[in-house]
């Protein structure tokens, strides 16, 4: 059974891939978005205080190709020489289907009321920042990314196995690089007031993703506050995901 307040690890039988490692994230609050003085800031990053009423778990790594294949029976990835590379060429709907498969496979292990899903934008940014307020969780300058992220300048035009770069302060890997990450939210303007457990509503504009990828050369995209959106059916070699385990929303 997954215990509230503790990290948890699950190994898939017969798969030569990293276990699914979930890190417990304490409830708390932070300033989401970016200050008006941040270089590269976009207008949709208006700051507000985002609070989490309950703790939650988040994947320390992306879902790997080995994990995805074990759960879904196939591997759609373009860069598939290593089962520990992040799965990519998955749509937002594919990622949610994988979360549902996890819920079915681990039903007896889940705390009451909790389900796997994609992280919300607020969960993602809270975990990415890991208590920092700088443009990048590793500092003010994009130069620090070389130690923490696979990007267009150091990845040789492909993904890499998860967990090879340094983690952030909360022990989470690849939060700024390797593949872009699907989030649960539809692309929605930020609230004008402080919010608790905020999730963007779904609309016709698209669904959100965060961070840059192996092909990204514009380092402004790797900022913790940067937001992107596209259609939910998009499947590209730069889209992957990690999972969150959180209380079911009413």
* Residue 205 pLDDT class (50, 70, 90 cuts): confident
Please report the pLDDT score of residue 13 as a whole number. Answer: 66
Spatial CA neighbour of 110 closest among 212, 31, 4: 4
Q: What is the structure's pLDDT at 11?
A: 87
Is there a contact between 125 and 224 (Cβ–Cβ < 8 Å)? yes
Provide the pLDDT for residue 58. 98
Question: Phi/psi zone of residue 188: left (φ > 0), alpha (ψ -120 to 50 degrees), beta?
Answer: beta
Q: How many CB atoms lie within 10 A of CB 140?
A: 11
Predicted pLDDT of residue 247: 86
- Nearest 5°: the CA angle 155, 22, 78 is 35
Considering only residues 1 and 78, tell me which one the structure prediction assigns the higher pLDDT. Answer: 78
Q: What is the mean pLDDT of the chain?
A: 95
pLDDT at 225: 98
Residue 250 has pLDDT above 60, yes or no: no
Token pair in block for residue 41: 């800031």
As a whole number of angstroms, the distance between CA 63 and CA 85 comes to: 9
**2: which 2 tokens?**
């997954």
**SS3 state at 222:** helix
Q: 76: closest CA among 63, 65, 84?
A: 65
Classify domain 8-247 by CATH number: 3.90.1580.10
Percent of the chain with pLDDT over 70: 98
Confidence grade of residue 202 (pLDDT, cut at 50, 70, 90): confident
Q: What is the pLDDT of residues 110-130, one digit of tens each?
A: 999 999 999 999 999 999 999
Where along the chain do its domains lie?
8-247
Residue 91: per-residue pLDDT: 98
């Amino acid at each position: 059974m997954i215990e509230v307040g503790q990290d948890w690890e699950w190994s898939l039988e017969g798969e030569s891939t990293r276990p699914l490692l979930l890190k417990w994230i304490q409830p708390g609050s932070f300033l989401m978005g970016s200050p008006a003085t941040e270089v590269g800031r976009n207008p949709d990053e208006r700051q507000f205080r985002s609070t989490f009423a309950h703790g939650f778990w988040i994947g320390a790594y992306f879902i790997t190709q080995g994990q995805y294949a074990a759960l879904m029976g196939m591997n759609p990835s373009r860069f598939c020489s290593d089962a520990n590379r992040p799965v990519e060429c998955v749509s937002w709907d594919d990622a949610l289907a994988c979360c549902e498969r996890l819920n079915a496979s681990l039903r007896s292990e889940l705390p009451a009321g909790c389900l796997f899903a994609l992280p919300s934008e607020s969960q993602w940014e809270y975990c990415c920042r890991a208590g920092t307020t700088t443009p990048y969780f590793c500092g003010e300058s994009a130069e620090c990314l070389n130690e923490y992220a696979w990007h267009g300048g150091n990845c040789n035009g492909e993904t890499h196995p998860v967990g090879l770069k340094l983690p952030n302060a909360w022990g989470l890997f690849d939060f700024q690089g390797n593949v872009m990450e699907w989030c649960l939210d539809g692309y929605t303007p930020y609230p004008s007031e402080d919010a608790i457990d905020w999730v963007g509503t779904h609309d016709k504009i698209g669904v959100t993703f965060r961070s840059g990828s192996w092909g990204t050369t514009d380092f402004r995209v790797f900022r913790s506050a940067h937001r992107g959106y596209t259609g939910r059916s998009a499947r590209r070699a730069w889209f992957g995901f990690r999972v969150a385990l959180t209380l079911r929303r009413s």
